[in-house]
A = this chain, B = another copy of it.
Amino acid sequence: MPKPKDEQKLAAIHLQTMRLVNTTGFAALKMADVAQAAGIATGTLYVYYKSKEALINAVYLNTKLEIIDVLLDNAHANPDYFLTFKNMWTAYMQYCMQYPEKMLFVEQFIYSGLIAEEVIAQTEAKLIPLNQFLTYGQQKGLIKRMDIELIKAQMQGAITETIKFLTKQQQTLTAVQLNDCFAMTWDALRR
């Protein structure tokens, strides 16, 4: 039996790839840099990923799935729709503040033309429960009756832009500001 792949190395590769992309931009991402930052040889990187493109796609998929899990894990079947929504949104926002590099990495690559169509499709499929949750809110007369995609764009866009701003300023939201931001999003969506 052979020596197994090292989970820690894999984790280091993912972390450093995100870190490098977020600090120096994608244009400057070099395989040799990733390897060095992860503490392995350049050639070793190719044991784990057959190309730079494969590396980016793997980190993207991994991260995006993790983010979606955070979002949906908090969609508990609470009888109070508003509370459920607030819990979901808040948990998601807090996660994004805790790991802005993950959120920003994903954002940077959705429209980069580098992510395989199949990978995009896979992540979108996993988001179906969110659509159902919003549709249910519309049926109960709590959410504005308009295209679900426009509603999601409003919500996600606000979060993304806020995180970008916070990252640039190297700060996070106070509890009051977190509530303020939620108020804006809820007021935008409520009927």
Contact = CB atoms under 8 A, between A and B. Distances in A.
Interface residues of A, number: 41
Interface in A51-92: none
Given A27-B26, A157-B162, A146 B111 contact: no
A184 B144 contact: yes
Contact of A153 (B113, B153, B158): B158
A159 interface: yes
Contacts of A23: 113
A111 to B, nearest CB: 6
Nearest to A104: B111
Interface stretch (A2-10, A11-19, A132-140, A175-183): A175-183
A185 B188 CA distance: 6
A111 B108 contact: yes
A183 B168 CA distance: 29
Contact of A27 (B27, B165, B168): B27
A154 B155 CA distance: 9
Given A146-B177, A147-B177, A160-B161, A154 B184 contact: yes
Contact of A161 (B113, B157, B177, B184): B157
